[in-house]
Amino acid sequence: MLEELELRQPSVVTRALLRDIAEQVGVTLGPSQLAARLVRLGWLLPLRKRDAWEFAPAARAGRYRSGDPWIELRALLAHDPDAPVAVAFESAVWDLGRASHQPTVPVLAHRPGWRVPRVLGVRSVTFDWHVASRPIRGLPVWTEATVLVAAADRPSAQGNWGNADDWLPSTFRAAVADDVLAEAGGRTVSTLARLGYLAEWAGQEETADRIEEQLPARLPVTFLGPRDRRVRWSRRWHVYDGLLPNR
């Protein structure tokens, strides 16, 4: 059993995986007995998710956890691979390689109506994204286009505005413009105005022009940040900006 686990190197071990390996190698013990023995010997580490364990390979030289902030999410997806979730906002920016600082608290997005299990231990935000997530290291991660539109739609949920000059321009450069427009489809005028403003601030004039084409001639006043913090005014977008750093 251990030889097969070392060959497969799973982050998370489930009862189904134990059953599969036992059948393959000819072990007659049931998954519960196997799990109990492997936990006692230190090869499996209990998780908060029921019937799921973290595998501690020999390379760790002991009963040490990996420190993976998403280990409970991996356990959830091992049981329910179709769960409507994705790594989101500043966590997605990090996983996409667009930021130099890893977020302190992992951020997960889920679609409306889905109840977040407490065992995940992350910050969760409800958001209904259009563009399919991208698999990265075994997890669904928002694309750059979704990150940008979600930041414009839910600026209070985006937690790294203070270093936007680090991640925002690179995220816009990596985003596919058509995907940005597809993700923005059906959003409010305020979301589009903030998105256009962010694109202009990031130096993506072509994308900003395409977003502007989707806006009505008369724009309402929109806020990026608290309404009582009006640091900058954009006449083009009718946006009061209280979040982006000075450049």
- Position 229 scores a pLDDT of 81
What is residue 48's predicted lDDT score, i.e. its pLDDT? 92
Same structural domain, 149 and 207: yes
Residues 56 and 144 in one domain: no
53 in a structural domain: yes
| pLDDT class of 231 with cuts at 50, 70, 90 | confident
**Tens-place pLDDT, residues 66-90:** 989 999 999 999 999 999 999 999 9
Query: How high is the pLDDT of residue 156?
Result: 95
Q: Are residues 40 and 96 in the same domain?
A: no
Residue 204 domain flag: yes
| CATH, residue 12 | 3.90.56.20
Q: What is the mean pLDDT of residues 114-137?
A: 94
- Please check whether residue 87 lies inside any domain of the structure: yes
Q: Are residues 28 and 129 in the same domain?
A: no
* pTM (2 d.p.): 0.91
Query: Of 231 and 188, which is predicted with more confidence?
Result: 188
Q: Domain range spanning residue 9? A: 2-60
Mean pLDDT value across residues 211-233: 93
**Residue 56 within any structural domain of the chain:** yes
Specify if 72 maps to a domain: no
Residue 65 lies in a domain: no
pLDDT given for residue 97 in this prediction: 96
Beta strand 222-224 with 239-241: parallel, antiparallel or unpaired? parallel
Q: For residue 121, is pLDDT > 90?
A: no
pLDDT of residue 134: 96
Return the percentage of the chain with pLDDT > 90, whole number: 89
User: Do 213 and 121 belong to one domain?
Assistant: yes
Q: State whether 177 and 112 are in the same domain.
A: yes
Do 141 and 46 lie in one domain? The reply is no
Q: 223 and 103, same structural domain?
A: yes
What pLDDT is stored for residue 91 in this prediction?
Answer: 97
Amino acid identity, residue 142?
W
Evaluate whether residue 8 is within a structural domain.
Answer: yes
Strands of 56-158, DSSP E: 85-87, 107-110, 123-126, 134-136, 139-141
Tell whether 109 and 154 lie within a shared domain: yes
Q: In Å, what is the CA distance from 112 to each residue of 29, 83, 186?
A: 41, 12, 16
The domain tally of the chain equals 2
Q: Which residue has the higher pLDDT, 231 or 98?
A: 98
Quick one: angle between helices 164-174 and 189-201, nearest 10? Answer: 100
51 — pLDDT class (breaks 50, 70, 90): very high
Residues 130 and 16 in one domain: no
Alpha-carbon distance 150 to 144, whole Å?
Answer: 10
Q: Does residue 74 lie in a domain region?
A: no
Within 8 A by CB and 6+ apart from 238, the residues are 193, 219, 220, 221, 222
Same domain, yes or no: 109 and 39? no
* Together in a domain, 108 and 192: yes
In this prediction, residue 118 has a pLDDT band, given cuts at 50, 70 and 90, of: confident
